[in-house]
Protein backbone atom coordinates (compact mmCIF):
# COMPACT_ATOMS: atom_id res chain seq x y z
CA UNK A 1 0.00 0.00 0.00
CA UNK A 2 1.42 3.40 -0.92
CA UNK A 3 1.87 6.26 1.54
CA UNK A 4 -1.22 8.19 0.47
CA UNK A 5 -3.50 5.17 0.92
CA UNK A 6 -1.98 4.49 4.33
CA UNK A 7 -2.64 8.06 5.41
CA UNK A 8 -6.14 7.91 3.93
CA UNK A 9 -7.02 4.88 6.03
CA UNK A 10 -5.70 6.59 9.16
CA UNK A 11 -7.83 9.67 8.48
CA UNK A 12 -10.92 7.52 7.94
CA UNK A 13 -10.24 5.80 11.23
CA UNK A 14 -10.02 9.15 13.02
CA UNK A 15 -13.34 10.25 11.53
CA UNK A 16 -14.93 7.00 12.63
CA UNK A 17 -13.62 6.84 16.17
CA UNK A 18 -13.01 10.44 17.20
CA UNK A 19 -16.24 12.31 17.93
CA UNK A 20 -14.36 15.48 18.79
CA UNK A 21 -12.72 15.84 15.38
CA UNK A 22 -15.93 14.78 13.67
CA UNK A 23 -17.93 17.49 15.47
CA UNK A 24 -15.18 19.99 14.81
CA UNK A 25 -15.42 19.41 11.07
CA UNK A 26 -19.23 19.35 10.99
CA UNK A 27 -19.81 22.41 13.16
CA UNK A 28 -16.69 24.44 13.88
CA UNK A 29 -15.05 24.68 10.47
CA UNK A 30 -18.05 26.34 8.79
CA UNK A 31 -18.56 28.75 11.69
CA UNK A 32 -14.86 29.62 11.58
CA UNK A 33 -15.05 30.34 7.85
CA UNK A 34 -18.20 32.39 8.36
CA UNK A 35 -16.46 34.51 10.99
CA UNK A 36 -13.29 34.77 8.95
CA UNK A 37 -14.66 35.83 5.53
CA UNK A 38 -18.42 36.32 5.88
CA UNK A 39 -21.40 34.73 4.15
CA UNK A 40 -20.98 36.69 0.88
CA UNK A 41 -17.55 35.18 0.19
CA UNK A 42 -18.90 31.71 0.93
CA UNK A 43 -21.81 32.31 -1.46
CA UNK A 44 -19.44 33.57 -4.14
CA UNK A 45 -17.43 30.37 -3.74
CA UNK A 46 -20.54 28.22 -4.19
CA UNK A 47 -21.63 30.23 -7.22
CA UNK A 48 -18.51 29.03 -9.00
CA UNK A 49 -18.18 25.52 -7.58
CA UNK A 50 -21.85 24.63 -7.93
CA UNK A 51 -22.25 26.40 -11.27
CA UNK A 52 -24.62 28.90 -9.69
CA UNK A 53 -23.53 31.83 -11.82
CA UNK A 54 -24.75 30.08 -14.95
CA UNK A 55 -27.92 28.77 -13.28
CA UNK A 56 -28.85 32.11 -11.76
CA UNK A 57 -28.17 33.96 -15.01
CA UNK A 58 -30.42 31.60 -16.98
CA UNK A 59 -33.12 31.16 -14.33
CA UNK A 60 -32.41 27.47 -13.75
CA UNK A 61 -32.33 27.50 -9.95
CA UNK A 62 -35.20 25.98 -8.02
CA UNK A 63 -35.63 27.85 -4.73
CA UNK A 64 -36.23 25.80 -1.65
CA UNK A 65 -37.34 27.95 1.27
CA UNK A 66 -37.73 31.34 -0.39
CA UNK A 67 -39.69 32.04 -3.57
CA UNK A 68 -37.19 34.15 -5.51
CA UNK A 69 -39.75 34.87 -8.21
CA UNK A 70 -41.42 37.32 -5.84
CA UNK A 71 -39.37 40.53 -5.91
CA UNK A 72 -40.89 41.97 -2.74
CA UNK A 73 -40.33 39.03 -0.42
CA UNK A 74 -40.41 40.41 3.11
CA UNK A 75 -40.03 38.31 6.22
CA UNK A 76 -39.73 40.30 9.46
CA UNK A 77 -37.99 37.32 11.09
CA UNK A 78 -35.42 37.03 8.32
CA UNK A 79 -31.84 37.19 9.60
CA UNK A 80 -29.14 39.25 7.95
CA UNK A 81 -27.50 36.10 6.60
CA UNK A 82 -30.82 34.85 5.21
CA UNK A 83 -31.36 38.22 3.55
CA UNK A 84 -27.94 38.03 1.86
CA UNK A 85 -28.65 34.47 0.70
CA UNK A 86 -31.98 35.56 -0.77
CA UNK A 87 -30.52 38.59 -2.53
CA UNK A 88 -27.86 36.36 -4.09
CA UNK A 89 -30.64 34.04 -5.37
CA UNK A 90 -28.92 31.00 -3.89
CA UNK A 91 -31.44 28.13 -3.66
CA UNK A 92 -29.93 26.74 -0.43
CA UNK A 93 -30.84 27.04 3.21
CA UNK A 94 -28.10 27.92 5.69
CA UNK A 95 -27.87 24.24 6.63
CA UNK A 96 -27.43 23.24 2.99
CA UNK A 97 -24.73 25.86 2.51
CA UNK A 98 -22.89 24.53 5.55
CA UNK A 99 -23.18 20.98 4.20
CA UNK A 100 -21.81 22.02 0.79
CA UNK A 101 -18.80 23.76 2.37
CA UNK A 102 -18.01 20.70 4.48
CA UNK A 103 -18.33 18.45 1.41
CA UNK A 104 -15.90 20.62 -0.54
CA UNK A 105 -13.54 20.73 2.43
CA UNK A 106 -13.49 16.94 2.70
CA UNK A 107 -13.00 16.49 -1.04
CA UNK A 108 -10.02 18.83 -1.05
CA UNK A 109 -8.69 17.27 2.15
CA UNK A 110 -8.75 13.85 0.46
CA UNK A 111 -7.04 15.24 -2.63
CA UNK A 112 -4.25 16.75 -0.51
CA UNK A 113 -3.46 13.79 1.74
CA UNK A 114 0.34 13.57 2.02
CA UNK A 115 1.97 11.03 -0.28
CA UNK A 116 5.54 11.65 0.87
CA UNK A 117 5.27 11.19 4.62
CA UNK A 118 3.25 8.78 6.76
CA UNK A 119 1.06 10.32 9.45
CA UNK A 120 2.44 8.17 12.24
CA UNK A 121 0.29 9.10 15.19
CA UNK A 122 -3.25 10.20 15.92
CA UNK A 123 -1.83 13.62 16.73
CA UNK A 124 -0.19 13.77 13.28
CA UNK A 125 -3.55 13.07 11.63
CA UNK A 126 -5.44 15.67 13.70
CA UNK A 127 -2.73 18.27 13.09
CA UNK A 128 -2.92 17.61 9.35
CA UNK A 129 -6.71 18.01 9.33
CA UNK A 130 -6.66 21.19 11.40
CA UNK A 131 -3.73 22.54 9.44
CA UNK A 132 -5.60 22.03 6.18
CA UNK A 133 -8.50 24.14 7.46
CA UNK A 134 -6.56 27.33 6.76
CA UNK A 135 -5.06 26.02 3.54
CA UNK A 136 -8.57 25.26 2.20
CA UNK A 137 -9.79 28.72 3.17
CA UNK A 138 -6.92 30.83 1.82
CA UNK A 139 -5.66 28.66 -1.03
CA UNK A 140 -9.00 27.43 -2.36
CA UNK A 141 -12.22 29.01 -1.06
CA UNK A 142 -11.14 32.67 -1.14
CA UNK A 143 -9.43 32.56 -4.58
CA UNK A 144 -12.47 30.87 -6.12
CA UNK A 145 -14.81 33.38 -4.45
CA UNK A 146 -12.73 36.19 -6.01
CA UNK A 147 -13.15 34.46 -9.36
CA UNK A 148 -16.93 34.70 -8.95
CA UNK A 149 -16.68 38.43 -8.27
CA UNK A 150 -14.45 38.89 -11.30
CA UNK A 151 -16.82 36.83 -13.48
CA UNK A 152 -19.80 38.91 -12.36
CA UNK A 153 -17.94 42.14 -13.07
CA UNK A 154 -16.94 40.95 -16.54
CA UNK A 155 -20.48 39.71 -17.23
CA UNK A 156 -21.99 43.04 -16.17
CA UNK A 157 -19.54 44.96 -18.33
CA UNK A 158 -20.23 42.72 -21.33
CA UNK A 159 -24.00 43.00 -20.86
CA UNK A 160 -23.67 46.78 -20.56
CA UNK A 161 -21.60 47.00 -23.74
CA UNK A 162 -24.03 44.75 -25.62
CA UNK A 163 -27.01 46.77 -24.45
CA UNK A 164 -25.35 50.06 -25.36
CA UNK A 165 -24.33 48.73 -28.75
CA UNK A 166 -27.83 47.47 -29.51
CA UNK A 167 -29.41 50.76 -28.43
CA UNK A 168 -27.00 52.80 -30.54
CA UNK A 169 -27.43 50.52 -33.56
CA UNK A 170 -31.23 50.78 -33.28
CA UNK A 171 -31.09 54.59 -33.01
CA UNK A 172 -28.75 54.83 -36.00
CA UNK A 173 -30.96 52.56 -38.10
CA UNK A 174 -34.02 54.59 -37.12
CA UNK A 175 -32.22 57.84 -38.01
CA UNK A 176 -31.12 56.52 -41.40
CA UNK A 177 -34.59 55.20 -42.22
CA UNK A 178 -36.24 58.50 -41.31
CA UNK A 179 -33.91 61.03 -42.80
CA UNK A 180 -31.26 59.43 -44.98
CA UNK A 181 -33.09 56.57 -46.63
CA UNK A 182 -35.95 58.66 -47.97
CA UNK A 183 -35.30 62.00 -49.61
CA UNK A 184 -38.99 62.56 -50.33
CA UNK A 185 -41.19 63.23 -47.32
CA UNK A 186 -44.80 64.22 -46.99
CA UNK A 187 -45.37 67.76 -45.77
CA UNK A 188 -48.39 69.61 -44.48
CA UNK A 189 -49.85 72.02 -41.97
CA UNK A 190 -51.15 71.64 -38.43
CA UNK A 191 -54.82 72.60 -38.86
CA UNK A 192 -55.69 72.28 -35.17
CA UNK A 193 -53.48 71.07 -32.29
CA UNK A 194 -52.52 67.49 -33.09
CA UNK A 195 -54.37 67.41 -36.42
CA UNK A 196 -52.47 67.60 -39.72
CA UNK A 197 -53.32 67.99 -43.36
CA UNK A 198 -50.83 66.74 -45.91
CA UNK A 199 -50.59 68.99 -48.96
CA UNK A 200 -47.69 67.56 -50.93
CA UNK A 201 -44.24 66.01 -51.04
CA UNK A 202 -40.93 67.71 -50.30
CA UNK A 203 -37.48 66.62 -51.40
CA UNK A 204 -34.87 67.15 -48.68
CA UNK A 205 -31.79 68.52 -50.42
CA UNK A 206 -28.37 66.88 -50.24
CA UNK A 207 -26.87 69.65 -48.10
CA UNK A 208 -29.43 68.98 -45.37
CA UNK A 209 -28.90 65.22 -45.58
CA UNK A 210 -25.12 65.60 -45.37
CA UNK A 211 -25.37 67.94 -42.40
CA UNK A 212 -27.75 65.60 -40.57
CA UNK A 213 -25.39 62.68 -41.13
CA UNK A 214 -22.40 64.71 -39.99
CA UNK A 215 -24.08 65.87 -36.80
CA UNK A 216 -25.45 62.44 -35.95
CA UNK A 217 -21.93 61.00 -36.31
CA UNK A 218 -20.58 63.73 -34.02
CA UNK A 219 -23.20 62.92 -31.38
CA UNK A 220 -22.44 59.20 -31.66
CA UNK A 221 -18.82 59.81 -30.74
CA UNK A 222 -19.44 62.26 -27.92
CA UNK A 223 -19.36 61.28 -24.26
CA UNK A 224 -22.41 62.39 -22.28
CA UNK A 225 -22.95 62.13 -18.51
CA UNK A 226 -24.69 58.81 -17.80
CA UNK A 227 -26.71 60.25 -14.92
CA UNK A 228 -28.59 62.77 -17.10
CA UNK A 229 -30.88 62.58 -20.13
CA UNK A 230 -30.76 65.09 -22.98
CA UNK A 231 -32.82 66.20 -25.96
CA UNK A 232 -30.42 67.67 -28.51
CA UNK A 233 -31.59 69.71 -31.47
CA UNK A 234 -29.62 68.43 -34.44
CA UNK A 235 -30.95 70.72 -37.13
CA UNK A 236 -33.88 72.87 -38.25
CA UNK A 237 -35.28 71.90 -41.63
CA UNK A 238 -36.68 75.04 -43.20
CA UNK A 239 -39.04 74.06 -45.98
CA UNK A 240 -39.42 76.42 -48.92
CA UNK A 241 -43.13 76.39 -49.87
CA UNK A 242 -42.20 76.93 -53.51
CA UNK A 243 -40.24 73.65 -53.60
CA UNK A 244 -43.17 71.50 -52.52
CA UNK A 245 -44.73 69.18 -55.06
CA UNK A 246 -48.35 69.91 -54.14
CA UNK A 247 -51.02 67.27 -54.49
CA UNK A 248 -53.36 70.02 -55.71
CA UNK A 249 -51.15 72.74 -57.26
CA UNK A 250 -54.11 74.95 -57.94
CA UNK A 251 -54.71 75.27 -54.19
CA UNK A 252 -51.17 76.37 -53.38
CA UNK A 253 -52.03 80.10 -52.96
CA UNK A 254 -54.94 79.24 -50.73
CA UNK A 255 -52.80 76.94 -48.57
CA UNK A 256 -50.17 79.60 -48.02
CA UNK A 257 -52.73 82.25 -47.14
CA UNK A 258 -55.18 80.35 -44.98
CA UNK A 259 -53.20 77.69 -43.20
CA UNK A 260 -50.73 77.79 -40.38
CA UNK A 261 -47.65 79.37 -42.00
CA UNK A 262 -45.39 76.66 -40.59
CA UNK A 263 -44.90 73.77 -42.98
CA UNK A 264 -44.06 70.47 -41.31
CA UNK A 265 -42.52 67.19 -42.32
CA UNK A 266 -45.02 64.43 -41.66
CA UNK A 267 -43.49 61.07 -40.74
CA UNK A 268 -46.67 59.00 -40.54
CA UNK A 269 -44.75 55.73 -40.10
CA UNK A 270 -43.23 56.87 -36.80
CA UNK A 271 -46.12 59.19 -35.94
CA UNK A 272 -43.86 62.21 -35.82
CA UNK A 273 -44.38 65.71 -37.21
CA UNK A 274 -42.17 68.75 -37.16
CA UNK A 275 -39.49 70.86 -38.77
CA UNK A 276 -36.67 70.30 -36.29
CA UNK A 277 -34.74 67.06 -35.84
CA UNK A 278 -33.97 66.09 -32.24
CA UNK A 279 -31.95 63.24 -30.80
CA UNK A 280 -32.75 61.81 -27.37
CA UNK A 281 -29.79 60.69 -25.26
CA UNK A 282 -30.32 58.57 -22.17
CA UNK A 283 -27.60 57.17 -19.89
CA UNK A 284 -24.96 58.49 -22.27
CA UNK A 285 -26.36 56.73 -25.36
CA UNK A 286 -28.48 57.85 -28.32
CA UNK A 287 -31.80 56.02 -28.01
CA UNK A 288 -34.07 57.66 -30.59
CA UNK A 289 -34.62 60.53 -33.02
CA UNK A 290 -37.75 62.58 -33.54
CA UNK A 291 -39.32 65.50 -35.37
CA UNK A 292 -40.33 68.46 -33.24
CA UNK A 293 -42.33 71.56 -34.17
CA UNK A 294 -40.07 74.56 -33.74
CA UNK A 295 -42.95 76.96 -33.14
CA UNK A 296 -44.17 75.11 -30.04
CA UNK A 297 -42.51 75.64 -26.69
CA UNK A 298 -40.93 72.43 -25.51
CA UNK A 299 -39.74 71.67 -22.01
CA UNK A 300 -37.79 68.81 -20.40
CA UNK A 301 -40.92 67.29 -18.88
CA UNK A 302 -42.61 66.91 -22.25
CA UNK A 303 -39.48 65.39 -23.73
CA UNK A 304 -38.93 63.26 -20.60
CA UNK A 305 -35.34 64.47 -20.26
CA UNK A 306 -33.31 66.50 -17.78
CA UNK A 307 -32.05 69.09 -20.26
CA UNK A 308 -32.83 70.38 -23.73
CA UNK A 309 -29.86 71.53 -25.80
CA UNK A 310 -30.73 73.81 -28.72
CA UNK A 311 -27.32 75.39 -29.23
CA UNK A 312 -25.21 73.05 -31.39
CA UNK A 313 -22.05 74.91 -30.38
CA UNK A 314 -22.38 73.44 -26.88
CA UNK A 315 -21.99 70.00 -28.45
CA UNK A 316 -19.06 70.94 -30.67
CA UNK A 317 -17.24 72.69 -27.81
CA UNK A 318 -17.82 69.83 -25.34
CA UNK A 319 -19.70 72.07 -22.91
CA UNK A 320 -22.43 69.60 -21.99
CA UNK A 321 -22.23 68.80 -18.29
Q: What is the pLDDT of residue 298?
A: 85
Q: Say how far apart CA 158 and CA 163 lie, in whole Å.
A: 8
Q: What is the pLDDT of residue 16?
A: 81
pLDDT in tens, 5-15: 888 888 888 88
Q: What is the pLDDT of residue 53?
A: 45
pTM of the model: 0.48
pLDDT in tens, 138-189: 889 998 888 877 776 776 666 555 555 545 566 677 677 666 666 788 888 8
Q: What is the pLDDT of residue 68?
A: 33
Domain ranges of the chain: 3-160, 182-316
Q: What is the pLDDT of residue 74?
A: 56
Q: Write the CA distances from 62 to 1, 90, 102, 277, integer angstroms.
A: 44, 9, 22, 50
Q: What is the pLDDT of residue 66?
A: 31
Q: Which of 37, 260, 292, 2 is nearest to 141 (CA)?
A: 37
pLDDT along the chain (321 residues), means of 10: 85 83 85 89 87 48 36 63 81 87 91 88 86 89 84 65 55 69 79 81 86 88 87 89 86 70 71 85 84 86 90 88 76
Estimate to the nearest angstrom the gap between the alpha carbon of 179 and the chain centroid. 30
pLDDT in tens, 115-146: 888 888 888 888 888 888 889 998 899 988 88
Q: What angle do CA 212, 278, 244 make, to 5 degrees?
A: 65
Amino acid sequence: MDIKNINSEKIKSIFKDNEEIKNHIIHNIYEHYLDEVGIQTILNFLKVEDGMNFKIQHGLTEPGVVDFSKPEFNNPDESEIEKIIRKNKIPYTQEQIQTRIIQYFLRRLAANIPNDKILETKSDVINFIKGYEMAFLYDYLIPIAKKAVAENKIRKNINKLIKEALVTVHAKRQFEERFLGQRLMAVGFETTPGQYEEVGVYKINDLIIDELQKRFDILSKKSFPINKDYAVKVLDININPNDINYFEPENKPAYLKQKNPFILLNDSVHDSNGNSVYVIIRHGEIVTTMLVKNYVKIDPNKMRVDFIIKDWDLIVQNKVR
